[in-house]
Structures are given as structure tokens and as C-alpha cells.
Amino acid sequence: MTVSNVKHGDDDDDHSVVLVCSHFCDAPWRSFQFSLKIAAMIFTAEQISCVCEVLLQSGCMDRLAGFLLTLPASSSSSPREQESVLKARAAVAFHQGHFLDLYALLESFSFSPLNHPLLQQLWLRAHYMEAERLRGRPLGAVAKYRVRRKFPLPCTIWDGEVTSYCFKEKSRQVLRDWYLQKPYLSTQEKQELAEVTGLTVLQVSNWFKNRRQRDRSIDNSRDRPLGTTGFFSVSPAQFHLRGPGTPTETQP
């Protein structure tokens, strides 16, 4: 299977494009470079988007970089297809350590929510790596939180809603309301609540379990004699990777 098997503009060739991507990943480098030149001339914008997605998911970053070099500055007028190319460029910039290019790219285009998780990770990991180079050592959880505060996610890759305890604030409010009415849920109720909040059944179950444990700890501390209750503290290990907002604990 070679690039020449793909006919320009035929909708029936989408599967062929995917096969060509496999050829891009496995072919010898010289053959791959020749295939790139042919592909850039005959692929439609939609097929270029497909190639970018497949090469990105396959982890063929060097070959994805080579493919992007063959494309014109603006290879598509379709926002969706343009977004696939820009996402691929962002991933390549991160892979090559070109973080300034990565930041500029992520801030210049409003990406769809579907791509936010990946692009947020690229943004955060790039800033972490830069901070680690300056410090000369790995970052701890608190140091990572400070980096996130200093370099908040741009609105182009973030929906603007603060995330707390791994969940959206709207989801947490629903969980709290249910908990106040019924701290112990049946399996069916957990499934219903998971559908309402967009969480998994396991996440709902763990949230209720942690909340009950927290309430028991508070009740027990109130029963202790004065002076025997220690400070309620949170260790650095309990902080998790988050978007913009305050440091958050693992408990609800």
C-alpha cells in the first residue's frame, strides 16, 4: 500500500488514508520522505486532518513533524480540520521542546472542548519542565500548584469553570445535595447520580465514602477532651494536578 493508491477527493478513500498512515509509521525514512511529498499534493484537507490524527495517536512524532513541514501555512478553511493540524503542531512543538511556540499556538486558537484535556496536559507539562530546569530538581505537588497559579490555562483550552476535587463545581454541588438527603446510596442510585453528574459510578461511590469518613472524623474530634485534638492538615502528597483554582485535597 502506497500513497499513490489514494485518489484525490474520493470519499471512499478514508480507509485508505488510515492504511497510508500505517505506511508512514513503518516505512523506511527515505521512502517516508518521498511519500510525504506525494501526500501533500494529493490529500484533501479532510484527509490531511485524518493523517494528523492517526500519526498523533500512533505516537509517530518525528514523522508527524515531517508531514506537517510539507503542508502550506493554511492547509484548510474548515475550523475542524484546521484544529486537527494545529493540535498536531502543538504536540510536535512539545515533543521537540519548543515551548514558546507551543504556548503561542495554544493561545492563538479556540480549541473545542474535546481537545482540551490533551492540550491542557501539554501546557502544564511544558511549564513544569521549564520550572524543573530552573530548579535543577523534580517539582513536588506544592511547587506544581505554584506553577499552575503563575501560568493559568488560557481560555482557548479551558471552559472557564473551576475544577475542585477532580470534579466540576456543578457536579460537586449535585453530590452534596444528594449526600445531605441520603449518605448511603443503592447501586441504582449511584448509577442515576453518575448519569446526572457525568461521573463514573466508581467516582460517585468514592466521593460518598470519603465524605462519610470525613464527617465521622469531625464527629470523633468533637468527642475528644479539650487539648487532645490535633490540627487538621493536608500533606503535599494529597494535592493533585488541577487547572486554575486553589490547591485541593483528595477529600470531598
Q: Taking the domain 161-222+237-252, which CATH number applies? A: 1.10.10.60
Closest CA to 68 of 50, 48, 54: 48
Q: Per-residue confidence at 21, pLDDT binned at 50, 70, 90? A: low
Rg (CA), the chain: 24
The span from the CA of 176 to the CA of 183, in Å, is: 9
The span from the CA of 178 to the CA of 208, in Å, is: 10
The span from the CA of 32 to the CA of 67, in Å, is: 9
Task: Judge whether residue 91 has pLDDT over 90.
Answer: yes
Mean pLDDT of 68-81: 70
How much of the chain exceeds pLDDT 90, in percent?
31
Q: 7 vs 202, which has greater pLDDT?
A: 202
pLDDT given for residue 218 in this prediction? 73
The span from the CA of 146 to the CA of 149, in Å, is: 5
pLDDT given for residue 214 in this prediction? 85
H/E stretch holding 126 reads helix 116-135
pLDDT given for residue 63 in this prediction? 87
Q: Is the pTM of this model over 0.85?
A: no
The span from the CA of 165 to the CA of 190, in Å, is: 18
The pLDDT mean for the chain works out to 75
Q: 183 vs 248, which has greater pLDDT?
A: 183
**All structural domains of the chain with their residue ranges:** 1-96, 97-160, 161-222+237-252
Contacts of 159 (CB under 8 A, 6+ apart): 113, 116
Task: Judge whether residue 92 has pLDDT over 90.
Answer: yes
**Cβ(43)–Cβ(17) below 8 Å:** yes
Helix (H, G, I), strand (E, B) or coil at 88: helix
Lowest-pLDDT range, 33-47, 123-137, 169-183? Answer: 33-47
pLDDT given for residue 41 in this prediction? 59
CB atoms within 10 A of CB 76: 19
Distance of CA 109 to the CA centre of its chain: 16
- φ/ψ of residue 11, rounded to 5: -65, -25
- Which amino acid makes up residue 128? Y
Task: Judge whether residue 13 has pLDDT over 80.
Answer: no
Cα end-to-end distance, the chain, whole Å: 54
Q: Which of 37-41, 124-128, 236-240 has the highest mean pLDDT?
A: 124-128
